């Protein structure tokens, strides 16, 4: 069974930092592109960042570019999100999400849809 | 950036009714559209990808159609567990990957 478990959320002051983690199990983590998607309280979904299976390709939404850094450790089956210079508008539940399809076995059939999601971790930015 | 506009914002229906949800893209996204369901307090669940393909384990009462700029999610016969918020998402032209604002299907 695919499991994604986020951790590291909490209350932080504006300008502060947090590091989110996502522990993956039940699948070959190194075969899959991974993403962070967030949802502000009572609002819709917002994609924030993607990282390819090898970590060689990384993308960010403009709203977080230059402040947040996505990374992964395939040996530890873990995804990370370093969040610096946090703002009130970054307050949200952050989900890690695995893409549909995989990039294993020498070929890539990944599609940028989110097939599996974690339960989310809440980040609150407030003074 | 491709903007996805969902309508209506809220759909008030009864169990057993048919639900028709719309998603319109600001430019052609071919068939690169997904639909998600989100129940209160839960993570989203992938229902449909590439406009019309049901994801693993999704009941046949959910179907998707459309291409280009206009897409539809249809729930043929609403079950009590289908009352939720539904989002569309495109992957045609990214970054950024974008979502629609959501349609809430509520019980009348």
Tens digit of each residue's pLDDT (9 = 90 or more) over B85-101: 999 999 999 999 999 99
In this prediction, residues A102-117 reach a mean pLDDT of 88
- At A55 the three-state DSSP class reads coil
If pLDDT is split at 50, 70 and 90, which confidence band does B54 have? Answer: very high
**CB-based contact B43 A95, cutoff 8 Å:** yes
**CB-based contact A113 B89, cutoff 8 Å:** yes
CA distance B15 to chain A (A): 25
**pLDDT reading at A106 higher than 90:** no
If pLDDT is split at 50, 70 and 90, which confidence band does A109 have? Answer: confident
Element (H, E) at A97: strand A92-100
According to the model, what pLDDT value does residue A4 have? 98
| A89 vs A28: CA distance, rounded Å | 34
**CB-based contact B55 A46, cutoff 8 Å:** no
Q: How many CB pairs under 8 A join A and B?
A: 59
Which of A5, A113, A117 is best to mutate for the B interface (most B CBs within 10 A)? A113
With a pLDDT cut of 90, the percent of chain A lying above it is: 92
Relative to beta strand A10-12, strand A121-125 is parallel
Comparing alpha-carbon positions, the chain B residue that sits nearest to A39 is: B43
Would you mind telling me the total number of residues written for chain B in this entry?
Answer: 108
**pLDDT reading at A93 higher than 90:** yes
With a pLDDT cut of 70, the percent of chain A lying above it is: 100
**pLDDT reading at A110 higher than 90:** no
Which of A112, A115, A119, A120 is best to mutate for the B interface (most B CBs within 10 A)? A112
Q: What is the mean pLDDT of chain B?
A: 98
**Of the candidates A54, A45, A40, A43, which has an alpha carbon nearest to the alpha carbon of residue A97?**
A45
Using alpha carbons, list the distances in angstroms from residue B11 to B5, B20, B78, B106, B107. Answer: 15, 9, 12, 6, 8
**CB-based contact B36 A111, cutoff 8 Å:** no
Radius of gyration of chain A (CA): 14
**pLDDT reading at A124 higher than 80:** yes
Comparing alpha-carbon positions, the chain B residue that sits nearest to A4 is: B43
CA distance B91 to chain A (A): 6
**Of the candidates B35, B46, B17, which has an alpha carbon nearest to the alpha carbon of residue B71?**
B35
- Count of beta carbons in the 10 Å neighbourhood of residue B106: 12
**CB-based contact A113 B34, cutoff 8 Å:** yes
In this prediction, residues B34-45 reach a mean pLDDT of 98
| A123 vs A125: CA distance, rounded Å | 7
**CB-based contact B44 A50, cutoff 8 Å:** no
> Is A27 part of the contact surface with chain B (CB cutoff 8 Å)?
no
Q: Which tokens sit at A78?
A: 């873990």
Q: What is the pLDDT of residues A12-67, one digit of tens each?
A: 999 999 999 999 999 999 999 999 999 999 999 999 999 999 999 999 999 999 99
Q: What is the pLDDT of residues B12-39, one digit of tens each?
A: 999 999 999 999 999 999 999 999 999 9
């Amino acid at each position: 069974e695919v499991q994604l478990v986020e951790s590291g959320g909490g209350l932080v002051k504006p300008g502060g930092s947090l590091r989110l983690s996502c522990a993956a199990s039940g699948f070959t983590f190194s075969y899959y592109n991974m993403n962070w998607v967030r949802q502000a309280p009572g609002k819709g979904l917002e994609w924030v960042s993607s990282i390819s299976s090898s970590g060689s390709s990384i993308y960010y939404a403009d709203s977080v570019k230059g402040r947040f850094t996505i990374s992964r450790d395939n040996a530890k089956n873990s995804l990370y999100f370093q969040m610096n210079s946090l703002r009130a508008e970054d307050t949200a539940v952050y989900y890690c999400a695995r893409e549909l399809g995989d990039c294993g076995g020498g070929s890539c059939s990944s599609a940028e849809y989110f097939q599996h999601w974690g339960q989310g971790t809440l980040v609150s930015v407030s003074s | 950036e491709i903007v996805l506009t969902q309508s209506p914002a809220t759909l008030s229906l009864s169990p057993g009714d048919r639900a028709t949800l719309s998603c319109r893209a600001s430019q052609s996204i071919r068939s690169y559209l997904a639909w998600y369901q989100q129940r209160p307090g839960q993570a989203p669940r992938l229902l449909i990808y590439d406009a019309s393909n049901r994801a693993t384990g999704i009941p046949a009462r959910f179907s998707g159609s459309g291409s280009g700029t206009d897409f539809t999610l249809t729930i043929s016969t609403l079950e009590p567990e289908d009352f939720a918020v539904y989002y569309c998402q495109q992957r045609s032209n990214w970054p950024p990957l974008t979502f629609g604002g959501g349609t809430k299907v509520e019980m009348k």
